[in-house]
A and B are shown apart, each in its own frame.
Chain A
Amino acid sequence: MDLSLKWLNDYVDVSDLNIPEICHGLTMSGSKVEKYETEGEDISKVVVGKILDVKPHSNSDHLVITQMDVGTGSPVQIVTGAPNIREENIGDLVPAALDGSSLPGGKKIKKGKLRGEVSEGMLCSLDELGLTLHDFPYAIEDGIFILKAEDGRELVPGMPIQQAIDLNDTSIEFEITPNRADCLSVIGLARETAATFDRELKVNAPSFKGAGGKASDELSVEITDKELCSRYMAAVVKNVKIGPSPLWLRQRLRACGVRPINNLVDITNFVMLEYGHPMHAFDIRYIEDKKINIRRAAQGEKITTLDGVERELSSEMLVIADGKKPVAVAGVMGGEYSGIMDDTVTVVFESACFDGASVRTTAKKLGMRTDASSRFEKQLDPAMCEPALLRACELVEKLGCGEVMSEIIDCTNGVKVRRTAPFDSEWINRFLGTDISEEEMLRILSKLDIKVENGIAYAPPYRGDIEYKNDLAEEVARFYGYNNVPKSIIRGVAEGELTEGQKFTRSLRRAACATGAYEICTFSFISPKSYDKIRLSAGSTLRKSVEITNPLGEDTSVMRTTLLPSMCEVLSRNYNNRNAEAFLFEVGTEYIPTGAELPVEQDRLVMGAYGQGYDFYTVKGAAESIFDILGISGVEYTACTAEDDVFPDSTAFHPGRCAVASKNGVKLALIGELHPDTLANYSIGTRAYAAKFRIAEMFVAAEEKKYKPLPKFPATTRDMAVVCSDDIPVAELEKAISEGIGKILEGIKLFDVYKGSQIEEGKKSVAFSISMRSHEGTLTDEQADAAMKKALKKLSEMGASLRE
């Protein structure tokens, strides 16, 4: 809502306050000022000039030389090329930009010579002053703005142009919250201003004299849909004289951001801005059968609205219809021929009240949010129809632009709401934590037109938001000052703590950081095409995702069922931003539809890496460290060569370089090198690696850490290299060694895997360093040798033999 400061001052005198003071005060009492702008601020040294003489220019056909009285005593010479300055204009008043003046858009005017003749400045057109024909309909577009003394003011040469044409108002832009439709009006904001600065609000109840006659003789009104239209009032104005509105009215509209059109239309807009209640004006000639019916549209019924667009209506939309067709979409926009034209003779003013939700839905469906609909949708009160209509009639008489028929039409559905809320000053103080006297509270409420009787507060009709005692507490607090409420500490003792699960997730994130990975944060929605990019099989369960019906774009249209695409994208972005390497992780959510109303939201850890120094084993090493630090021991790794049942996104990985980590048969993680096709799909030009962890399962698998005594006796270490078939996984060899050595085994460390010319083809040599220790005593060589022999025996059972 843009507010004219002059208009505001009509109702509450704040002329002694400077603009920032007004803005700050209103912001702090709840009417937030976004910004303000003063008209004519970018104009300087432009004054009213009186044309004393006009002579042709000897060196030019189109230039003329004027002598101007600009209030300085002696005339100044200004050369102009405008076609509308001739001898007959002598005596006219025009805007004259003097030497050193500035105009909108930063234009500077300096004294100079035009074809040899001195020009001490420039005569200005409307456009040069940043104005349009809507603001000054009597001016012309291509020529100097010849001023008229409007509204009985006296124009004197030398007078600043801002003063001469009322180009000095300040427009204040407010952010009005949806509960306060009443503040989308000058009077509403004036009331807030009066309460904020403790001033008097001067609003007179509007009234008109009337020229006799009954509106109902000219027009009949019927509300068919009483649910969506609670009241419809109409006044008829005869013998209208269509023309421009007076300066004061045009100026106020302009400062509120509304374009002046003609007096009748301007009146409806003026009333809407003043009272916050939208109105409409019809030309009675186009109301067929002289009948107005407020009904729902027939499905598929059509109307061409004022903006010239034909629109198809549906049956839930409310329309204003005549005997044959819809003439307006109720509360949204009038029909093409229903408006006021230059030859209009009889006008019908509509002041009605429609169901807010219905207007909102209709406006949204038709894709046209108007000044009217944005007010109606906040649910206006039927009681406000009357003052608005009376004000419009009053203005017609004030402007002398028509004869208002004395009796107006008023149709209502009879529903009246009296808004009340219990008032209890002690409760309010307890609730706010304040010590405000009841008198002060009553004073604040009365400023807002809220009357209190016997513990009940009666709100005015336009305050649909007053319903609970909290609402009264807010009104009191707003004007007492939110920031004057003493700050206190919540009483009572409470212990806050993380759940075990939350603690585990925190440890997990810390562990992931400790492996050297940077944490990332990605969007939860992805493109469905991502599933192809990570090579999910056609029938993969992960392809079924929660879909957004109104996404911003395909890229963000489904909720991810796997974190892998997000990670791949970030790896790709880093690679393509020429970052030499990246090692990343994210704890994120996967959204799995289950057939229930809401999907299952499961948290996963995903890691990803590329660059020098990173390979499958780096990422696996990170996984091992994470398991270790979280107390998850005994994790087994098995090759994952095809689509896994628990990790269907395993198809994103290289089939020969992917492993599933599990403990006691429960799968915990998937680790692998990304498939070359996945890499290609994400334009990653190097090998990259990823891992995904199931957090809930890891939480279950984690054991509490217990101290084990440090060994008392020394360990014995033996190295061993065995040769075996290449396809036996090292994990199998380790298992055999472990079984052979038994409980004195302390650890097996792999230190070499060799394939090549020294070894038979299809075979590999694997070297281990085996550490053994007993808690009962120092192991003898014999004991160690015996254990190694057993290990070798186990190995030989699987075809592995000692390397010679």
Chain B
Amino acid sequence: MKEQLERILEAATKQLKAASDPEKLEEMRVQYLGKKGEITSILKQMGGLSPEERPKMGQLANSIREQIETELKAKSDQIKKELAAKKLEAERIDVTLPGKEITIGRPHPLNAVLDEVEEIFLGMGFDIVDGPEVETDHYCFEALNMPRSHPARDTQDTFYINENVVLRTQTSSVQIRTMEERNPPIRIISPGRVYRSDAVDATHSPLFHQIEGLVIDKGITFGDLCGTLDMLMKKLYGKDAQIRLRPHHFPYTEPSAEVDLMCFNCGGKGCSMCKNEGYVELLGAGMVHPKVLEGCGIDPEVYSGFAFGIGLERITMGRFGINDMRLLYENDMRFLGQF
């Protein structure tokens, strides 16, 4: 009997080595270990053994059974693994094929930059105020210390609807409306479209966007204006951004300044991008003229403030390196898709 068992073990081991698929393993399990399997049938013959031999043979039979069982399991695991690996191998794809296109909409570059500027000012405690684009002469000029005879009002600059109504030439009109409606302290920006009668070319457009800023409170200084603009430019262009202020003239501010940004290309040394000036003109600013404050019912002896107007096109073009303003209004998909 012992020999029988050992033969079984030998045969099973041999068969296992040759087995290569799960079906064969199942067959073997039935053949050797099943209810009618070879080991079971041998165990059934145990009755014919002597009481001394019985436990020995029992032990041997069980150990052989366990051995076959273990080997079957090992083999089975191995085959499963191989099959899984084969399947993965068969499922190999060309990962260099392009991905499936998902159309994602995008904001217009002007609005993308405007959103950013608005966030900066919201963070600095400014509200955002809108105002009409078709505006009265009063709000666009008169209240901004530009009486009828002022050169800035030449028809060559301003679009007129009638004698008293114009397309606003600057967002400063919103300054006046705000000062009339709110009491200081005031901190607002007013972004929007403005109109000048300039023919379209690479750097001019009859319509463009300005972001007007206005701060009115007790004790607002020219230094505050410099500090605010400096902070804006650093947030917009990074810590290395440097501005410089040049004296200028606007009828509605005094003192007035033009603000230049140091050319990023040459770091102020002068290059072709900044026309050798080292700086690029960016915006106009100044301390609100006492006449303007008075006109809005704000006492210039008590309050002071500053205002500035930033050209959105200019900072957008600078930000993305766009060299022709017309691209912004042509709205070609190939252009819009770049932002």
- Residues of A at the B interface (CB closer than 8 Å) are 27-30, 32, 177-180, 356-357, 360-361, 364, 377-378, 430-434, 465, 468, 470-471, 473-474, 477-478, 482-483, 485-499, 502, 506, 509, 512-525, 546-552, 556, 559, 570, 573-574, 577, 579, 581-585, 589, 591, 597-599, 601
A523 close to B329 (CB less than 8 A): yes
Contacts of B256 in A (CB 8 A): 474
Contacts of A493 in B (CB 8 A): 125
B337 interface residue per 8 A CB criterion: yes
State the 9 A-B residue pairs at the shortest beta-carbon distance, nearest first: A433-B223, A357-B149, A494-B125, A30-B247, A433-B221, A474-B255, A177-B249, A513-B105, A516-B103
Q: Can you identify 14 A-B contacts, CB atoms within 8 angstroms?
A: A32-B258, A179-B251, A364-B155, A432-B222, A470-B255, A473-B255, A488-B223, A513-B106, A518-B105, A523-B329, A548-B160, A559-B134, A570-B331, A598-B135
Question: CA A591 – CA B136 in complex, angstroms?
Answer: 15
CB nearest to A585 among chain B residues: B105
A519 close to B254 (CB less than 8 A): no
Question: CA A485 – CA B83 in complex, angstroms?
Answer: 79
A552 close to B197 (CB less than 8 A): yes
**Min distance, Cβ A776 to any Cβ of chain B, angstroms:** 41
Q: A434-B223, A519-B336, A573-B331 are known contacts. Are A478 and B162 too (CB-CB below 8 A)?
A: no
B81 interface residue per 8 A CB criterion: no
Cβ-neighbour of A549 out of B124, B161, B185, B248 (below 8 A): B161
A482 close to B245 (CB less than 8 A): yes
B220 interface residue per 8 A CB criterion: yes
**Min distance, Cβ A618 to any Cβ of chain B, angstroms:** 11
Contacts of B226 in A (CB 8 A): 482-483, 485-488
Contacts of B334 in A (CB 8 A): 577, 579
Question: CA A515 – CA B228 in complex, angstroms?
Answer: 37
Contacts of B159 in A (CB 8 A): 548-551
CB nearest to A175 among chain B residues: B248
Contacts of A357 in B (CB 8 A): 148-149
B221 close to A430 (CB less than 8 A): yes
Contacts of A552 in B (CB 8 A): 197, 199, 206
B154-170 Cβ-contact flags toward A at 8 Å (1 or 0): 11000111101101000
CB nearest to B153 among chain A residues: A360
B93-107 Cβ-contact flags toward A at 8 Å (1 or 0): 000000000011111
A470 close to B103 (CB less than 8 A): no
B246 close to A32 (CB less than 8 A): yes
B197 close to A550 (CB less than 8 A): yes
Contacts of A498 in B (CB 8 A): 122, 128
CB nearest to A29 among chain B residues: B247
B124 close to A520 (CB less than 8 A): no
Question: CA A432 – CA B227 in complex, angstroms?
Answer: 12
Contacts of A29 in B (CB 8 A): 247
B215 close to A490 (CB less than 8 A): yes
**Min distance, Cβ B282 to any Cβ of chain A, angstroms:** 14
Contacts of A577 in B (CB 8 A): 332, 334
B127-163 Cβ-contact flags toward A at 8 Å (1 or 0): 1100011111000000000001111101100011110
A180 close to B254 (CB less than 8 A): no
Contacts of B110 in A (CB 8 A): 521
CB nearest to A553 among chain B residues: B199
**Min distance, Cβ A316 to any Cβ of chain B, angstroms:** 12
B105 close to A360 (CB less than 8 A): no
**Min distance, Cβ B83 to any Cβ of chain A, angstroms:** 36
A497 close to B107 (CB less than 8 A): no
B104 close to A582 (CB less than 8 A): no
A485 close to B223 (CB less than 8 A): yes
Contacts of B251 in A (CB 8 A): 179
Cβ-neighbour of B111 out of A432, A486, A521 (below 8 A): A521
Give the B interface residue count (CB, 8 A): 83
CB nearest to B161 among chain A residues: A546
Question: CA A607 – CA B215 in complex, angstroms?
Answer: 37
B103 close to A583 (CB less than 8 A): yes
Q: A496-B121, A519-B105 are known contacts. Are A361 and B336 too (CB-CB below 8 A)?
A: no
B316-334 Cβ-contact flags toward A at 8 Å (1 or 0): 0000000000001111111
Cβ-neighbour of B107 out of A431, A491, A519 (below 8 A): A519
Cβ-neighbour of B221 out of A28, A432, A579 (below 8 A): A432
Q: A517-B105, A520-B108 are known contacts. Are A431 and B333 too (CB-CB below 8 A)?
A: no
Question: CA A546 – CA B166 in complex, angstroms?
Answer: 10
B314 interface residue per 8 A CB criterion: no
B65 interface residue per 8 A CB criterion: no
Q: A489-B224, A519-B106, A599-B134 are known contacts. Are A477 and B155 too (CB-CB below 8 A)?
A: no
Question: CA A663 – CA B103 in complex, angstroms?
Answer: 29
B331 close to A497 (CB less than 8 A): no
A497 close to B122 (CB less than 8 A): yes
B332 close to A579 (CB less than 8 A): yes
B248 close to A431 (CB less than 8 A): no
Contacts of A582 in B (CB 8 A): 333
CB nearest to A477 among chain B residues: B255
CB nearest to B243 among chain A residues: A483
**Min distance, Cβ A735 to any Cβ of chain B, angstroms:** 32
B151 close to A178 (CB less than 8 A): yes
Question: CA A457 – CA B96 in complex, angstroms?
Answer: 78
Q: A515-B105, A551-B159 are known contacts. Are A482 and B249 too (CB-CB below 8 A)?
A: no
Q: A513-B107, A574-B333 are known contacts. Are A492 and B185 too (CB-CB below 8 A)?
A: yes
B193 interface residue per 8 A CB criterion: yes
B136 close to A431 (CB less than 8 A): no
Best-buried of B126, B227, B247 by chain A (most CB within 10 Å): B247
Question: CA A759 – CA B152 in complex, angstroms?
Answer: 73
A496 close to B122 (CB less than 8 A): yes
Best-buried of A478, A491, A521 by chain B (most CB within 10 Å): A521
A482 close to B247 (CB less than 8 A): yes
Q: With A357-B149, A548-B161, A598-B132 given, name 16 new contacts (CB 8 A).
A: A177-B249, A179-B251, A357-B148, A433-B222, A470-B289, A487-B230, A488-B221, A498-B128, A513-B107, A519-B106, A521-B329, A549-B161, A550-B197, A559-B134, A598-B134, A599-B134
Cβ-neighbour of A518 out of B199, B255, B333 (below 8 A): B333
A494 close to B135 (CB less than 8 A): no
Question: CA A513 – CA B108 in complex, angstroms?
Answer: 10
B127 close to A496 (CB less than 8 A): yes
**Min distance, Cβ A796 to any Cβ of chain B, angstroms:** 43
B38 interface residue per 8 A CB criterion: no
Contacts of A478 in B (CB 8 A): 247, 255
B75 interface residue per 8 A CB criterion: no
A494 close to B107 (CB less than 8 A): no
**Min distance, Cβ A527 to any Cβ of chain B, angstroms:** 14
CB nearest to B129 among chain A residues: A499
Cβ-neighbour of B207 out of A485, A506, A524, A585 (below 8 A): A524
Question: CA A702 – CA B105 in complex, angstroms?
Answer: 23
CB nearest to B162 among chain A residues: A549
**Min distance, Cβ A56 to any Cβ of chain B, angstroms:** 52
**Min distance, Cβ B139 to any Cβ of chain A, angstroms:** 10
Q: A478-B255, A574-B332, A585-B105 are known contacts. Are A546 and B127 too (CB-CB below 8 A)?
A: no
CB nearest to A179 among chain B residues: B249
Contacts of B149 in A (CB 8 A): 356-357, 360-361
Question: CA A387 – CA B133 in complex, angstroms?
Answer: 47
Cβ-neighbour of B126 out of A494, A499, A549 (below 8 A): A494
B177-200 Cβ-contact flags toward A at 8 Å (1 or 0): 000000001010000010101010
Contacts of A494 in B (CB 8 A): 124-126, 185, 187
Question: CA A517 – CA B105 in complex, angstroms?
Answer: 4
A549 close to B160 (CB less than 8 A): yes
A489 close to B231 (CB less than 8 A): yes
A509 close to B331 (CB less than 8 A): no
Cβ-neighbour of A495 out of B125, B152, B161, B258 (below 8 A): B125
B249 close to A180 (CB less than 8 A): yes
Contacts of A378 in B (CB 8 A): 151
Question: CA A570 – CA B104 in complex, angstroms?
Answer: 19
CB nearest to B154 among chain A residues: A364
Question: CA A665 – CA B58 in complex, angstroms?
Answer: 90
**Min distance, Cβ A723 to any Cβ of chain B, angstroms:** 37
Contacts of A470 in B (CB 8 A): 254-255, 287, 289-290
